Structure formats: structure tokens, C-alpha cells
Amino acid sequence: MGLKDIRGVPTSTDSQASLDRLEEALKLAIIMRGDPVAVLDKALEAEPGFVLGLCLRAEMQLLTTERARVPQVARDVEMAEALTGTANERERGHIAAIRAWLEGDMEKATECWEAVLLDYPRDLVALFCAHMTDFFLGEAPQMRDRISRALRGWDADTPGYGYVLGMYAFSLEEAGDFARGEDYGRKAVELNPKDVYAIHAVAHVMEMQGRQEDGINWMTERQADWAVGCGFAIHLWWHTAMYYLDLEQYDRVFEIYENGIRHSADGISLEELDAASMLWRLNLLGVDVSDRWSELADRWEPSAEDTYYAFNDMHAMMAFAGAGRDMAAAKLLAATASYVTERGGTNAQMTKDVGIPICRALLAFSREDYDAVVDLLQPIRYKSNVFGGSYAQRDVIALTLIEAAIRAGRFSLAHALLAERTALKETSPMTWKLMARTLDGLGDRPGADNARGRAESLLAGVRPTVRDNTGLRDNPVFIPGGCLL
């Protein structure tokens, strides 16, 4: 017969204990605390034929976007497929989604989860997985609308409602609806103060709007809710550091890097992505990062040829280019080229369209071939969403292009790019400093002085009222959606 889960969605298990563990694991995955896989391991020890448990365990591993997880996913989906006869329709949809992703078709995976959601909009497992995969695909409108569609089946009394609002908040932000994104994010945090995903959504709004002071205060006031026992803390420290970076408070950036971003127990990719991303930004600004590149490249090197998700490859290349690891960079480029020619599917297309040009551009930047950087990045700047990540994360591509244009003496281009940037984020001191350098290059001294003056007045006006405490941190165990956001 099978029981229904806590939201009334049918399952094929007759064990309430299995469903309770599934719910616990799902909640841990969404709030990014503890070890949902370990919880599912226990459920599957007690009920080896627990189809939904096998599915969620495989899905959690897939969402890390790490190649090393693939064998476990394959084992779980094979076991689940062997149980197809006892699985219900919903569960067969999950199995199909996992199989599609394993075969390299992430879009098809989202279609399979969506087919489940059409009948069961309260299937929070399907919604969470599809939401995260939309993010990996850079499908911001789809990400927003998928949550809207599912919400037709939810109300404030549905267990997990607040978490769906948190997903909606981030989706709205990524779709450019900052006001509603902030509104929903704040509502979600009111419902669940430890909803780090919703805290993160509001942090994104503040980043996109150049609200550095608001951002620092927002993160600081909630630090006890996100900085301890949470696998997402590294990324939230990264966001906090981003505000300080714009304010030229590099000592604070390094302090956060050392205590909040860098140290990790087990080489989690999220840490390596955020670390690379922050060091590259510092590099663009001409800030000496000393031997941090070398240390980071050491962590990336063992997986130099593990290309599996183009967005991760970009960050690996930052580390190799920053550290001058030519051999590792060459291995990565060769692996990406082989992936494109030998494999089909979503990641092959992402790698071909944007992954390889961006990796080559990063390498060219490190070799001071700034014209090559411009020529590689300019044609793909409006396509880079196809390899996922957030606007805030992908902004490193725009910054690299601008810096390369300035260093190549292509000041007209830099000026045009900065006109875009100041229009979108007029309270960013960093952007006005870039504008000042560009106008210097164009020989416009009054314009440069004006831009510099705007930067200085913004810097003088920003005074975060609460100091955060970087010491509040511990080591996460597992991060679903490991490379995001």
C-alpha cells in the first residue's frame, strides 16, 4: 500500500520510521547542517528496499556536482531501478531523474522532477532537487517559475513552507526581482531563523544592489544562526568578505579568508570554489595574496583532470593560473577538450560554450596577455549563465574582462563596460575606482577625479554598526549543492 509523507505525498514504504528519517535527512539537506547521507544510511540499513531513501541519497550526492560521488550514485540508482516494480509513480520519476543526470542530461533530470511536481507539487524532495539543478543550469526564470508553480499546492501550514519561501527568495533575486526577493527572504527567516538559504538570498540582494553596510549588518546580526554547525557557512563568509572587498577593507577580507573560508576538514569543493573566487578578485585588484595561491592549487591539483562541471573547472583554473601551475592548467584544458569531444550532454555543451573560453582567458590573464583575455571573454559575456552559478559568482568574469581591458589599454571598451556597471551598482566604491583608472587612461582628468571622489565619499559614508566575529565557525560534514551559490 505505502504510507504518505508528512506533506501527504504517497510513497511505497510501509515504514513510518523510514519516512521520519527521510524527512530528517531532507531537512538537514535544506538547512545544510549535519549529515543527511548518514541519516539515510541508517534508514536504508533498516529498510534496504526503501526506494525514496535510495533516491534521496543519490540526489544528495548528485547535487554536490563532484565526480567522486558518481559511483555511489550509480549504485543507489541501480538498486532503486531494481525495485521499480514496487516503486510508485512518484518514485519512478525520481529514479528517471537520477538516471538522466547520470547519463549527462541535467535538463532531462529537471523535466523528470517537474513531471512529479505536476501531480505532487508538495514533493519537497523533487522541488529541492529541481531548484538546485535549475541553479546549476543558470536557468533563473525557470528557477523562479518552478517555485511559483509548486507553491499552488502549499500554504502556510504545510510542513517546510518556510523553506520553499527561502528558495523562492533566492530565485526571485537571481531573476532580478530584488525587492520581492528580499521580502520573501526576510519572511522565510522570520519563520525559520536558521534557514541559511533564505539568509543567503537576502545577502545576494544586498550584494547585487551594492548595499555593503546593510549586507555586513545583515550577516553579522544573524551570525549565530549560520556560522556554527552549518555546511553553508563558508559560502556565507565569502559573501561577507565580498562586502568588505568592495570597501577596500582587505585586512578584514584576509581575516575572513583565513578563518572562515580557507580551513576545511575534508577538501569540500565549496571551500575551494569560494577561496579561488576571492583570491582571484584580490588578484584583479592588485592585492598581494602571498602564498595562498600555492596552497589552494595544491588542493585542486589532484582533481585537475576530473572535469565534471564547467563551473567548477573555472575555479580550478583560477587556482592553477594564480599559482603559475602550468602543468596542471594544461591538464585541465586537455581534460575539458576531451570531455567535449568524447562526451555528450549538458556539461559538454557548457564546457564548449563558456567553460573552455573562460579557462583560457584566466590563463591568458596570468600570462599578462590582456588582449587575449578581452577577445576570449567579450563574445561570451552574455552566455556565461549557461554554466550556472549566481550572478554574484559570475561577476568575476565581468571584473576580469574590465581589468584586462584597462591593462590592455582598451579604455573605450573599459569605459563602456563600467558605464553598464555603475548604472547597475552605483554605490560600489570598487567600480568607481575602476572608472577613475579608465578615465585616467582616456585622458579625462576631471572625470577621473570625479569618479575617484565618488568612490572616496562612498567609502567615507559606510560604517557597519556591528562587528562580526570570524571565530564563530566549525567544520561542516556535508554540503548538498556543494559548489553553489
Query: What residues make contact with Fe ion under the rule CB under 5 A?
Result: 390, 485
CB of 236 vs Fe ion, minimal distance in Å: 8
User: For residues 227 and 32, is the Cβ–Cβ distance under 8 A?
Assistant: no
Tell me if 276 sits within 8 A of 389, measured CB to CB. no
Least Å from the CB of residue 393 to Fe ion: 7
We find the least distance from the C-beta atom of residue 201 to Fe ion, in angstroms, to be 9
Q: What is the closest distance, in whole angstroms, from the C-beta atom of residue 482 to Fe ion in the complex? A: 13
Nearer to Fe ion, 28 or 485 (CB): 485
R_g of the chain computed on alpha carbons: 22
Which of 62, 485 has the CB closer to Fe ion?
Answer: 485
Nearer to Fe ion, 351 or 390 (CB): 390
Nearer to Fe ion, 97 or 485 (CB): 485
Of all residues in the shown chain, the one whose CB is closest to Fe ion is: 485
Q: How far is the CB of 16 from Fe ion (least distance, A)?
A: 37
- Cα dihedral 172, 174, 118, 162, rounded to 10, equals -50
Asked if 366 contacts 324 with a C-beta cutoff of 8 angstroms, the reply is yes
Q: 3-state DSSP call for residue 227?
A: coil
Q: How far is the CB of 463 from Fe ion (least distance, A)?
A: 24
Rank residues 50 and 311 by Cβ distance to Fe ion and give the closer one: 311
Minimum CB distance to Fe ion smaller for 405 or for 485: 485
Report how far residue 167's alpha carbon sits from residue 149's, in angstroms, rounded to the nearest whole number. Answer: 13
Cα separation, 75 vs 337, whole angstroms: 28
CB of 69 to Fe ion, least distance (A): 21
- Cβ–Cβ under 8 Å, residues 216 and 244: yes
If the CB atoms of residues 204 and 473 are measured against Fe ion, the closer one turns out to be: 204
Distance CA 88, CA 188 (A): 32
* Long-range contacts of residues 177-185, Cβ cutoff 8 Å, at least 24 apart: 177/144, 178/205, 178/208, 178/209, 181/205
The dihedral through the CA atoms of 348, 351, 354, 360 has a sign that is: negative
